[in-house]
Structure 1
Amino acid sequence: MHFLQILILAIVQGAAELLPVSSSAHVIVAEKLMGLDPTTPEMTMLLVMLHTGTMFAAIVYFWKAWVATYFSSLSAFRTNALRIVAATAATGVVGLALLFIIKRVVFRNASGFEIEHLFGNTTLMAVSLIAAGVLIILAARIRERSDDLTLRSSIWIGAVQGLCLPFRGFSRSGATISTGLAMGVSRRRAEEFSFALAVVLTPPVIAKEAWRLYQAAHVQAVDSGHAVNTMHLIGPSLVGMVFSFLAGLLALRWLSKWLEQGRWHFFGIYCLVAACVVLAVG
């Protein structure tokens, strides 16, 4: 993989991962345009490191706000920890239920089914982008209230996050922030809580992708008859992580600015346009 390709994917992943426009849809389109195979160990390794870069970008960007909100006192920590745990549990319940339904109904309980089989379906991706775009536009029309985050709204946000997991194109940040806005949560609190959930969710995603890398390398080793060395992939992947980190920081500044200035709906319009592009490229 060339340095320019790594740079492009890092910027696309880093920006789109944290903006409410679906990073997966953008990365898949970029890979198709550059003729890359996302199933290779090289691409899997790069994706793991790009996710790591965006996770650290969210931690650095929101750290002061999270300290002020979540760690201001023992009581505040307990209350907010309960909300995060409840939301994450709702994500797991909804996500696993969707996975079960998709496997049993759509794929007729096929033994080799993995959720990644859905990711290459450009029609499904476009529909998901449209759904995210409509949700963002509708949420932007709701007048902001000063209501704080409650346990009930936390669970709803987590449940909607679970809906995003199987569908590439259904932006996680766009859906969770919009759900918070729709339930009367202030823009700042909705944004902070959405990315707190993302930081909790990202390590299992990274672990899953790392496991896929190990499995792919093992299969390749069995087929070729000798061990596959993936150490040469670390250097390019670290470069990608740095660029995704920097792109993520810039993306978060952009997101916060538009959210506070009442321009949230523009991200929804972009998702609708992106759906058309995905269909054309697919």
Structure 2
Amino acid sequence: MDWLQVVVLAVVQGLTEFLPISSSAHLILVPVLTAWEDQGLAFDVALHLGSLSAVVIYFRQEIWQMMTSSLAAIRGKGVDKDARLGFWVVLATIPVCLIGFLIQNIIADQMRSTLIIGISLIGFGLLLGYADWRMRGTRSEYQLRLKDVLIIGGAQALALIPGTSRSGITMTAALLIGMSREGAARFSFLLSIPVIVLAGGLEAVKLLQVPQSIDWLAMLAGTLLSGFSAYVCIHYFLVVIKKLGMQPFVIYRVLFGAWLLWFFHF
């Protein structure tokens, strides 16, 4: 890989992982729209590590509270709001893991087309716009109920369809059940942690099974750039949605999806 490819892929991963615009769509399209060769599993692992580091650092206090409270609950000291939130994060992750395991080959072989990506960008983008437009909720991530978590977790499984956006669909579901914009975004970001860990771990296992030469300098640069851009993205996204809501991202999704359909299919 040349350095331009390293920078572009790392920044695209870092920015789109947490914005409701589909990181998979953008990363699939980069090699389609350029002459670059596939970056390889090792670099994919590095990019995931960068994104994971960013969200863990940003939410380090919340994560620490969830861990300590969960351990206290296991020891029989009662379940507080932090322990409950930790349990909700784990529970909401189960559907996407189960469904992803069952249909991963179908996704890899049959669903990574520009047609599916374009339709998903537009369709789920309009759904996000509707959820944000009718948003009247004020609940935070600490006020979720079991039914709410099951709905958000089920919605997250739809993100296996390229172009859907994991963050986008979870925020959509959260808004529809009455969460505030910030609460929906924060819970979506916390949900990304186990998903990124599992996705990165799966790629790491594949990497061990198929040894390949590794450009360690490129991997380090990719990790740092992905992490930095993801951290900046999380911070400013939470600022933007307080003032403008989700509509700028809806417009981007619809225009991007329409361009893909026009460029590749008309």
Same fold? TM cut 0.5: yes
Query: How far apart, in 1, do the equivalents of 2:66 and 2:200 lie?
Result: 27
Instruction: Please state if 1:191 is matched with 2:180.
Output: no
**Superposition pairs for residues 102-117 of structure 1, below 5 Å?**
113=105, 115-117=107-109
Matching residue of 1:257: 239
In the superposition, the TM-score normalised over structure 1's length comes to: 0.81
Query: How far apart, in 1, do the equivalents of 2:64 and 2:206 lie?
Result: 34
Instruction: Please state if 1:163 is matched with 2:163.
Output: no
Match for 1:267 among 249, 254, 262? 249
Deviation at 1:95, TM superposition (A): 4.1
Matching residue of 1:278: 260
Instruction: Please state if 1:244 is matched with 2:238.
Output: no
Deviation at 1:10, TM superposition (A): 0.7
CA contact (8 A) 1:144 1:187 kept: no
CA contact (8 A) 1:149 1:189 kept: no
Instruction: Please state if 1:76 is matched with 2:70.
Output: no
- The AA in structure 2 aligned to 1:173 is S
Q: For structure 1, which segment, 238-247 or 187-196, has the greater mean C-alpha deviation from structure 2 after superposition? A: 187-196
Matching residue of 2:29: 29
Matching residue of 2:76: none
Instruction: Please state if 1:137 is matched with 2:143.
Output: no
Query: How far apart, in 2, do the equivalents of 1:160 and 1:243 lie?
Result: 30
Deviation track 1:119-163 (CA, whole Å, cap 9, x = no partner) reads 531101111111221121011112332332211111111111011
- The AA in structure 1 aligned to 2:53 is F
CA shift in 2, pair 1:280/1:46, >3 Å: farther
- The AA in structure 2 aligned to 1:139 is A
Query: How far apart, in 2, do the equivalents of 1:154 and 1:180 lie?
Result: 9
CA contact (8 A) 1:90 1:162 kept: yes
Match for 1:149 among 120, 144, 149? 144
SS in 1 for 2:59: helix
Matching residue of 2:75: none
Deviation at 1:67, TM superposition (A): 4.8
Deviation at 1:275, TM superposition (A): 0.8
Matching residue of 2:55: 58
Query: How far apart, in 2, do the equivalents of 1:189 and 1:263 lie?
Result: 12
Matching residue of 2:116: 124
Instruction: Please state if 1:208 is matched with 2:202.
Output: yes
Deviation at 1:70, TM superposition (A): 7.4
CA contact (8 A) 1:57 1:248 kept: yes
Query: How far apart, in 2, do the equivalents of 1:261 and 1:31 lie?
Result: 35
CA shift in 2, pair 1:36/1:216, >3 Å: farther
What is the RMSD computed on CA atoms of the aligned residues?
Answer: 2.3
SS in 1 for 2:40: helix
Q: For structure 1, which segment, 189-198 or 208-217, has the greater mean C-alpha deviation from structure 2 after superposition? A: 208-217
CA contact (8 A) 1:128 1:170 kept: yes
CA shift in 2, pair 1:119/1:57, >3 Å: farther
CA contact (8 A) 1:70 1:76 kept: no
Identity %: 28
